[in-house]
A and B are shown apart, each in its own frame.
Chain A
Amino acid sequence: MSAVRFDHVSKAFGEKKVLDDVSFEIEPGQAFCLLGRSGTGKSVSLRHIIGLMQPDSGHVFVEDKDVSALDRRELAEVRKHMGVLFQNAALFDSMTVGDNVSFPMRRHTDWSSAEIHDRAAAKLADVGLAENFDSMPADLSGGMKKRAALARAMALDPPILLIDEPSAGLDPITAREIDELLVKRKEAGTTLVVVTHHIPSARAIGDQFALLHEGRMLAHGTIDALDASDEPLVQAFMRAQGGG
C-alpha cells in the first residue's frame, strides 16, 4: 500500500495548466519533497491530496483510496489520517493557540478535557511554544504561528503530514528547528509530503524528491539522482541557496 499516489493527474485553471500528467508514488514512512519555483503547482498538488481540489483528469490516491471518488463522510475519514500545515499557518484566529491545537482532538476523540489539555500542551512544547498555550494567534510572530500550526497538524499523530513551505518566512534557526522536528516525525514512521523551494531544508528532510516545472514533473528520484541530472533547470535549482 502506498501512502499517496498521483496517477496521471492534470489540472488547469482556465487556460493555464497547473498540473500536466503528473504521476508519483510515496511509500509509507517516506519523506517526499515537492520542489519547484513559485506557481509551478506544488501547493495545488497538496490541495489535491487533501481533497480540497479535484483533478480534471487522473486520480489521487491516499492510502489506496481514490480521493476524488469519495463522498464527504469517507473523505473526512481519510482526512483524519492527515495533518496539514498550510503555507500561512491558517490558525483559527478566534481561538487561543491551545484551543487551535486541541481542536482536532475535541472534534475526533472522546478524550477528557484534561487529557486534551495535557496533550495539546505537550504538542506545543514539542514546537517550543509551551508558554503560549493561552496566547491568541494575532499575538504570535510569523514563525511562532507556523510552529503552532505544525503542533495542530501533529495533534492526532496522523500517519501522513502534508507541509506547505515549512521554512518560508522563518529565520534560519527556527527553520532548522522545524526541519529537525519533521525529521523526528519521519523517524517515528510518519509519511511526510513537503512542498518547498528551500533546497537546504529539502536536503535535510527528504528521501525522495520531485521537481515540478510549468505543471510537469521535470525530475524525480533521490537527492543524488537530482544532483546528477543533466537538465539545466534541475542543476540550477539544486545548486541554488548553497544547496549543492
Chain B
Amino acid sequence: MAKAGARAGDGPGVAATSFTLQTLSFVDRVGARTLGALEQTGAIASFGARAMVEAARPPYDLAEVARHVYQFGARSAPLIITAGVAIGVVLSIHTRATLERFGAEAMIPAALAIALIRETGPLITGLLVAGRVGAGIGAEIGAMKVTEQIDALEANAVDAFKYLAVTRILALMIVMPLLTITMDFAGILGGYVAEAFVSGMSWSLYLERAFSFITYSDLILGTLKTVVFGFLVAVVSSHLGFTTSRGTEGVGEASTRSVVMASVLIILSDVILVKLILFFYPTVTG
C-alpha cells in the first residue's frame, strides 16, 4: 500500500518522494517551533534584564510599587490562606496514614512543617500566584496595549515599561515571600486542625513539635526562593502583555500563556534553586 499522500498505482518513486516531503515538512515544523521557542526565551530574558537595569535607575515609582504590593498581596491572601489550610489538612491526613504504621504519630507536626516550609508552601504559592496574579498582569497590560493606553502613557511622557512592567515585577518580588509565609502558617494551622480533631493535641505542643526540626535556613531559603518565582511570573506575564496583538483574542491568549509559561518556569526554576540551596547550604537537608 502506498504511503499517505500518494495515490494507489503511483508507484514506489512517487510514494518515496511523498514520504520525504512529509518528513521534511515535519522537520520544518519542529525546527520553526524550536526557533520560535528560543526566540521567545531570548526575548523574555532580555525583558527581565532590562527590567532589572531600569529598576535601578531613577525616577523610582515607589507609590506605584506600593499600590501593586497591596493589590497583589491583599487580593491573593484569601486564596493563599484557603489553599494553605486545605493543603495542611490533606498533608496531615496523608502523613498520619504513613507514620501511624511506624508508631511515629508524634512526628506528624514536624513532617508536615518540613514539607510545607521547604517545598510545598513556596511551590504551591508560586503556582497559585501565577494563576491569580500572572493571568491578571498579562490580561491587564495586554488590554492596555490593544486599546492604545500604553501609547497614551508614552504620549504623556511616562516610560510605560517602567510604569507598567518594572513596578509590577518589583511588587511581586516583594509580595511572594510574604504570601509564602502566609501559606506556610495557614498550612500548619490546617494541619493542627486535622491533628486536633484526631488526637486532641494542644496548639502549643503542636507548634513545639512542628518547629523542632525546622532551622532558620529552612525558613529563610525556602521563602526567599519565591522572590525568583515572583520575578519570573511578573516578567513572563508583563512581556506577554506588552507583545499582545490581535485585539481581545490576543488579550485572552496573553493571559492564558502567562499562566502556563509562568507555571512551567516556576517548576523548572524550583529544581535548579533546590539544587543550588543544597549545594551551598547542605545543612538545610536537616
The chain A residues found within 8 Å of chain B, CB to CB, are 47, 50-52, 72, 76-77, 79-80, 82, 84, 86-88, 90-94, 103-104, 107-108, 152
The residue in chain B whose Cβ has the minimal distance to the Cβ of A73 is B159
Rounded to whole Å, the gap between the CB of B264 and the closest CB of chain A is 29
Q: Would you give 17 A-B contacts (Cβ < 8 Å), ordered by A? A: A50-B154, A52-B155, A76-B159, A79-B156, A84-B156, A86-B155, A88-B147, A90-B147, A90-B148, A90-B149, A90-B151, A90-B152, A92-B152, A93-B147, A103-B156, A107-B157, A107-B158
Residues of B within 8 A of A107 (CB): 156-158
The residue in chain A whose Cβ has the minimal distance to the Cβ of B153 is A92
0 or 1 for each of B145-174: is its CB under 8 Å from A? (1 = yes): 001110111111111000000000000000
0 or 1 for each of B110-147: is its CB under 8 Å from A? (1 = yes): 00000000000000000000000000000010011001
The residue in chain B whose Cβ has the minimal distance to the Cβ of A104 is B156
Residues of A within 8 A of B159 (CB): 72, 76
The chain B residues found within 8 Å of chain A, CB to CB, are 140, 143-144, 147-149, 151-159
Residues of A within 8 A of B153 (CB): 92
Say whether A79 contacts B148, CB under 8 Å: no
Residues of B within 8 A of A90 (CB): 147-149, 151-152
Report Cα–Cα, A76/B149, bound state, in Å. Answer: 16
Say whether B157 contacts A76, CB under 8 Å: yes
| Choice from A51, A76, A77, A84 contacting B152 with Cβ under 8 Å | A84
Say whether A92 contacts B151, CB under 8 Å: no
Say whether A52 contacts B157, CB under 8 Å: no
Report Cα–Cα, A110/B193, bound state, in Å. Answer: 54
Report Cα–Cα, A88/B149, bound state, in Å. Answer: 10
| Choice from B140, B143, B151, B157 contacting A86 with Cβ under 8 Å | B151
| Choice from A80, A87, A92, A152 contacting B157 with Cβ under 8 Å | A80
